[in-house]
Structure 1
Amino acid sequence: MDVVIAPEAQIGEIVADDIAALIAARPDAVLGLATGSSPLRIYDAVTQRVERGELSLARARGFMLDEYVGLPLGHPCRYSTVIDEDFVSRVDLAPGAVRGPDGDAADLDAACAGYEKAIRDAGGVDLQILGIGTDGHIAFNEPGSSLASRTRVKTLTAQTREDNARFFGGDVDAVPYHCLTQGLGTIMDARRIVLVATGEAKAEAVAQLVEGAVSARWPATILQHHRRVTVLVDDAAASRLALAEYYRHTQAHRHLVS
């Protein structure tokens, strides 16, 4: 696991560099797209490169991490709407190139199984973007989630609903109780994972992720078992890392080994 501590303003450019390198090597790469506030700087940086003609996602594809249950197509808080506004509509991805789980499906279990198959049929995710919740969840894998879980229906914790109420005009009662989410096992299948966290509110979750024991209590800790994970955090999110100075030292003296 690589830990990079950088100013928030630089994090988007760092991940955009990774995406650009991936697309240069494989124009039809599969991206794993997260919603929420954490990846917005990434999407802004990638969009700017597309607008300048430095990068094209015309052959790329994408899969979303999760979706609320019961929000109809076009609802402003439905994640398919959010990812379209935040990213898809701003770049040159082909129509239909980004897919999310269908939280409005009549048969939710079948929708989950179909989503898993779609990811497999696409060849899997090349680079997965993640955020992390204050309770250590990634996607909507809440504390207590199976570390081997696949895409499924989950019940959101009260903390997650409170955290997400800001997207629903501050009305926690408007936040759905259920979602469809990629499982931790599904996320671990990605060939490369980049997790972004900023702000002091994420500091405890980041400390557990990087330096804590692997446990379903802090679902993101499963990433310690992935062979290619980069954790990008600002100073505030890194404030509880006991080895923060070592991570800075490693970053400053990083070099390529042939």
Structure 2
Amino acid sequence: MKVIKEIKALKRELAPIADRETGLVPTMGCLHRGHMSLVSAAVSENDCSVVSIFINPAQFGPNEDLDRYPRDMEGDCRMLEAAGVDYVFAPGVGEMYPPGFVTRIDQEILGNHLCGSRRPGHFRGVLTVVAKLLGICRPDRVYFGGKDAQQAVMVSRMIRDLNMDVEMRILPIVRDQDGLALSSRNRYLSPEERERALVLPRALDDARKRVEAGEREAGVLVREIANRISLVPGVALEYVEVVNLDDLQPVPEVDLRNTLVAAAIRVGATRLIDNFIVGE
């Protein structure tokens, strides 16, 4: 496994094997089993695998956790080498955003609900860096997890709208045994906060069961999730929304083929997200 920090160096490595299938897993590091499920798929489904590790400042707001976002480059590389990854691309901020960099990619409509409405500029930063990574690596496949559902939908739309020649692979959410969706930010939680955080997957699971039992009114699901979360001290609901999976706009009723139910909470200073797609 090679660790590469410069764009030109990575392009030189990949150019001679351009005829082989390549899979890219974009990450911000501090890898967990959720990331590694994407890595495993990339390694098994392609001739060559690239994992990027880049904590992207463009997707953090002024009062967010950029400076304290967990970092473990040495541990990440051990895990990736053991998994059979070929290349780790770990550029610095100046490499990705050199002086004079002004281009941004935006999707106002898809980003005006869910996380996008609470994190101005976040998805502009995400889309821009993913577009750069796709241009640098030219992969045949790119891998994302289902926990960041809005991100996955927006990247998929960017790929489609800009005619990028890459297959988007979205893999299921990976959870701990207690049901909490894996996240690098989970390590911020104290044992007591982690116990409180379980209200999020449990409230969503209850909503899923309500849909399976025949509930179709989005407002009912939103109220029940919000009420369940409000009962847990130390947990603040940021949002809960029921949206169309294509355009991420709120819907009054659940469509069994095309609806996303998503929520975000804060447990202490830690922000957590989770979701389910109706019918999956």
Q: Same fold (TM over 0.5)?
A: no
If you compute each CA radius of gyration, which structure gives the higher value, 1 or 2?
2
Give the TM-score taking structure 2 as reference length: 0.33
Higher RCO (CA-CA < 8 Å; seq separation 6+): 1
Higher share of residues assigned strand: 2
